[in-house]
Amino acid sequence: MLESRSITKKFGSKTAVDQVTVRFEPGHIYAVLGPNGSGKTTWMKMAAGLIKPTSGEVLFDGKPVNIESRKHIAYMSTEPYFYTWMTARDVGRYYEDFFEDFSYATYKRLLERMELTEDMKTSALSSGMMAKLKIAVTLARDAMVYMLDEPFNGIDLLARDEIRQTILERADESKVLLLSSHLVEEMEAIADKAVFIRKGQLVDQVDLEQLRTEKGISMADRYREIYGHEGAQA
């Protein structure tokens, strides 16, 4: 459903993503792992069509990502991106205006669940509340692909449980969920497959059940094997 073919992104002399070829199939939750600066965010932004690749391509249902694919790919950036004049209600109305798969009723339910109210100004939200708002508005879409960049950043333990539950409820056989994070233990409880990126390159793509049964190791163990001291620092 979603794949990248030899995709590369350079910023000046720095290569952020280097010849990454990877394919994501529906019915799975993928953990996209790597230390900070490994290229996870850049890859996701290219898949969302926000960043133009230097070379290579990202395909959605066999076609290069374009305006049409934005109707089916729900991307949540790690940084806050709402207009500062907006309330949570405005954010929902905005998504409702532009995404046919957005349900305002679902959004309201998710807001309540996250203990947010519609009249909250986005400019006055704490980082944790902002993270919850981004999750709520993104998951209120009935998209085919969800890409959540660092969904647990800045969120306390109890809210993490809530978010994890909400994400799991969204998963089904027809959807692809990509979750990037450097919080490996957190991801282990959600994902069934994992992609490891290091210095812009794809290092490994594993089925977590297979990893556990065949090699007897967890995702965190594999993470330690790949990144070692570099990963511990992240």
Residues that bind other proteins (CB under 8 A): 11-12, 45, 48-52, 67-68, 70-71, 75, 77, 79-83, 85, 94, 97-99
Residue 222 CB, shortest distance to other proteins, in Å, is: 32
Which CB atom, from 52 or from 229, has the smaller least distance to other proteins? 52
Helix (H), strand (E) at residue 102: none
**DSSP for residue 141:** B
Q: Which two tokens stand for residue 140?
A: 């209120």
Tell me the angle at which helices 104-113 and 88-98 cross, rounded to the nearest 10 degrees.
Answer: 150
Residue 94 CB, shortest distance to other proteins, in Å, is: 7
Q: Return the bridge partners of 102, or none.
A: 141
Which CB atom, from 128 or from 205, has the smaller least distance to other proteins? 128
Helix (H, G, I), strand (E, B) or coil at 213: helix
Which CB atom, from 153 or from 205, has the smaller least distance to other proteins? 153
Residue 73 CB, shortest distance to other proteins, in Å, is: 9
Residue 184 CB, shortest distance to other proteins, in Å, is: 26
Residue 46 CB, shortest distance to other proteins, in Å, is: 9
The stretches of the chain forming alpha helices (DSSP H) are 40-47, 67-70, 88-98, 104-113, 127-139, 157-170, 184-188, 208-210, 219-233
Tell me the one-letter amino acid at 76.
M
Q: Determine the Cα–Cα distance for residues 178 and 169; give it in Å rounded to an integer.
A: 14
Which CB atom, from 41 or from 208, has the smaller least distance to other proteins? 41
Which CB atom, from 68 or from 161, has the smaller least distance to other proteins? 68
